[in-house]
Amino acid sequence: AKRLRQRFPDPGPAAQAAVRAFHRRAVQAGLVHPDPWRRLREGSRRRRGCRQRG
């Protein structure tokens, strides 16, 4: 992750807005779960290991 962040500096707010709009369209199309981290927060915390952190 750090390597990628070094290679690609932080994108501007315009890029973030574009990504958010694309993600919203994907959610409406049913391709993406609207909140993938909700399962980690609410769901069973067993069997997840360190992935649930962060």
Q: Which amino acid is at 9?
A: P
- What gap in Å lies between CA 5 and CA 31, rounded to an integer? 26
CB half-sphere exposure, 1, CA atoms < 13 A: 0
Model confidence, pTM: 0.38
Instruction: State pLDDT tens for residues 2-52.
Output: 676 667 677 778 888 888 888 888 878 887 777 767 766 666 555 555 555
pLDDT at 36 (0 to 100): 67
Number of domains in the chain: 1
Domain span at residue 46 reads 2-52
DSSP 10: P
